A and B are shown apart, each in its own frame.
Chain A
Amino acid sequence: MKYAGLLVMPAGFFLSVAALVLFPDPVSRTAFVVCGLAVECLGLVVAVRGHMLARGESRP
């Protein structure tokens, strides 16, 4: 799960960068950049959750 989260994060980055090229309109561009950030946050949450589980299983 932790690796899935880390793989989702670059997808958010590419979404943000693609918005620069695809949307000249400032409103659409801003919206898609924010969407990219939201995807990254989702990936970060999944990665954090994944690491919590991994650590919990190996508690000393």
Chain B
Amino acid sequence: MNPQAAVPLTDAAFALCLALLLLAPLAIAGVALINTGLGRCRSAAQALLGNLAIVAVSAIVFALIGATLAGNLPSGPGGAGHILFVAGKPWNWLGEGSFLLGGLGAAPAQSQLALLFEFMAVAMAALIPWGSGADRLRLSAGCAIAAALAATVFPLLAHWVWAGGWLSALGVNFSLGAGFLDGGGAATVHVLGGLSALAVVWIAGPRKGKFPKEGLSTALPGHNAVYVLFGCLLALVGWLAWNVAGAVLWLHAPLSALPGTAVNTLLTASGALAATFAVTRFRFGKPDASLCANGWLAGLVASSACAGIVTPGESLFVGLVAGIATPLLVELLELALSIDDPSGAITVHAVGGLWGLLAAGIFAAQAGQLVAQLVGIATLLGLVLPLVYLLFWLLNRVVAFRVDADGERIGMDLHELGGGAYPEFVIHRDESYR
């Protein structure tokens, strides 16, 4: 499907979009469950409380600061912003929205829905690095990371991609297809979250005992596969809502194209799960539950970029590639690159999202779309990653990311909350894993 020109939303489209956006938090709930289940049992309560706190902090900070910079109110997508003129072309690089959501009720329907979409998106983006920092990231650090993302990087990216910024205008200014396309938030949510996860893991370092001085890395399996797999099912509902709502809002898809978007989302996730199932069955003799969950999620993430653009056959192919790459990359990151990422967020969200964005360019019908997607990917890797790293490096000087050695030894629940998630369980000490 080619992206359509923007038209005002009909009442039916508005009602549908609003209903879908009210289902989108199920994706956030799913990722929160996955983050918790892939951590250790002695940090489970802290992990889930952290997910809640991050959603709250990101919403407050986005309302206070981020929404103004994202620039969806009151002028709406394509509205005014701070514009630089380079080589005779306008480069809209920063939004200029109303302060503290002023005029929300009087804004056009599409702007109100766009804002709601961005509230969900910023919560999801801030949640992703929390999973990667599991078992060593302090609650205050998680909240600080969420605040930093919601106030600075996310609004910038959201403006560039969704609110008439320079990436979305690549088609108008440089004849590159329809400009950078990101219907479901693959770039603004998932790649941003995944790259933030990489920065967090680099700055906080690995969990104690993960990489012993001798031998291979220690396996620290997630404590609850049921949370993880149920989280995947919840995530499917949320993702369907997210991708379909995004297709209406950002790709301006007609209502008749929406069932196709939903089918593509399901097919991409299904293809990815089937591929990961087969790869882990081949490599380990039995399918691996947590890697299959990661594969499923990687498929959903890839679908965020391309579900509204590709055909069902192409979406299945996108899912298969994501599903094959996920278990191999998780293994590569841990064994070869010594990156301790308990939730697999770097592979699932960053790599899955980048692959989806690339696939959207490859399979799009419009000439120049692939180059537009490549420019978007270059922005994410070349500008967003160093920016996020610098931001987190400075933040770590103010709010130490990592808990002290004693906290890590007794577990985050006891250290930060004073009580465990499962008080009747016997908690293993680190020594038992060596």
Give A contacts to B, CB under 8 Å: 2, 6-7, 9-14, 16-17, 20-21, 26, 29-30, 33-34, 36-37, 39-41, 43-44, 48, 51-52, 55-56, 58-60
Minimal beta-carbon separation of A40 from chain B (angstroms): 4
- Would you give 26 A-B contacts (Cβ < 8 Å), ordered by A? A6-B385, A6-B386, A9-B381, A9-B385, A9-B386, A10-B382, A11-B382, A12-B382, A13-B378, A14-B382, A16-B375, A16-B378, A16-B379, A17-B375, A17-B378, A20-B170, A20-B174, A30-B370, A30-B371, A40-B381, A40-B382, A48-B337, A51-B339, A55-B338, A60-B209, A60-B213
A11 to B386, CA, bound (A): 11
B96-104, B200-208, B231-239: which lies at the interface: B200-208
A29 to B378, CA, bound (A): 14
A56 to B217, CA, bound (A): 12
A43 to B202, CA, bound (A): 15
Closest B residue to A29 using CB positions: B371
Known pairs A20-B174, A40-B382, A59-B211; A52 contacts B338 (CB<8 A): yes
User: Which of A2, A7, A12 is within 8 Å of B378, CB to CB?
Assistant: A12
Task: List the B side residues contacting A40 at CB < 8 Å.
Answer: 378, 381-382
A52 to B211, CA, bound (A): 11
With most chain A CB atoms within 10 A of its CB, the pick from B86, B379, B383 is: B383
Task: List the B side residues contacting A13 at CB < 8 Å.
Answer: 378-379, 381-383
> Is B385 a contact partner of A36 (Cβ separation < 8 A)?
no
Minimal beta-carbon separation of A12 from chain B (angstroms): 5
Task: List the A side residues contacting B371 at CB < 8 Å.
Answer: 26, 29-30, 33
Known pairs A16-B375, A52-B337, A59-B213; A36 contacts B382 (CB<8 A): yes
Query: Is B363 in the interface zone, CB < 8 Å from A?
Result: no
User: Which of A16, A21, A34, A59 is within 8 Å of B212, CB to CB?
Assistant: A59
Minimal beta-carbon separation of A16 from chain B (angstroms): 4
| Inter-chain pairs besides A16-B382, A37-B381, A59-B211, 8 sampled, C-beta below 8 Å | A6-B389, A12-B381, A13-B379, A20-B174, A37-B378, A48-B339, A51-B339, A60-B212
Task: List the A side residues contacting B89 at CB < 8 Å.
Answer: 21
A55 to B176, CA, bound (A): 42
Query: Is B222 in the interface zone, CB < 8 Å from A?
Result: no
Task: List the A side residues contacting B382 at CB < 8 Å.
Answer: 9-14, 16, 36, 39-40, 43
Known pairs A7-B386, A26-B368; A33 contacts B211 (CB<8 A): no
A14 to B378, CA, bound (A): 9
Rank and list the top 10 A-B pairs by shortest CB-CB distance, nearest first: A13-B382, A16-B378, A21-B87, A40-B382, A40-B381, A12-B382, A6-B386, A9-B382, A13-B383, A51-B202
Minimal beta-carbon separation of B277 from chain A (angstroms): 29
Minimal beta-carbon separation of B93 from chain A (angstroms): 11
Task: List the A side residues contacting B379 at CB < 8 Å.
Answer: 13, 16
A60 to B423, CA, bound (A): 29
Query: Is B33 in the interface zone, CB < 8 Å from A?
Result: no
> Is B386 a contact partner of A58 (Cβ separation < 8 A)?
no
A58 to B206, CA, bound (A): 10
> Is A16 a contact partner of B374 (Cβ separation < 8 A)?
yes
> Is A21 a contact partner of B209 (Cβ separation < 8 A)?
no
A26 to B170, CA, bound (A): 13
A41 to B354, CA, bound (A): 13
Contact with A along B358-376 (1 / 0, CB 8 A): 0000000000101100110
Task: List the B side residues contacting A21 at CB < 8 Å.
Answer: 86-87, 89
Task: List the A side residues contacting B205 at CB < 8 Å.
Answer: 55, 58
A37 to B205, CA, bound (A): 27
Query: Is B143 in the interface zone, CB < 8 Å from A?
Result: no
Query: Is B191 in the interface zone, CB < 8 Å from A?
Result: no
Contact with A along B132-176 (1 / 0, CB 8 A): 000000000000000000000000000000000000001000101
Query: Is B345 in the interface zone, CB < 8 Å from A?
Result: no
> Is B378 a contact partner of A36 (Cβ separation < 8 A)?
yes
Minimal beta-carbon separation of A55 from chain B (angstroms): 6
With most chain A CB atoms within 10 A of its CB, the pick from B212, B375, B377 is: B375
Minimal beta-carbon separation of B227 from chain A (angstroms): 28
**Chain B, range 195-230, C-beta contacts under 8 Å to A:** 202, 205-206, 208-209, 211-213
Task: List the B side residues contacting A34 at CB < 8 Å.
Answer: 374
A48 to B332, CA, bound (A): 12
User: Which of A16, A36, A48, A55 is within 8 Å of B211, CB to CB?
Assistant: A55
Minimal beta-carbon separation of B412 from chain A (angstroms): 18
A56 to B337, CA, bound (A): 11
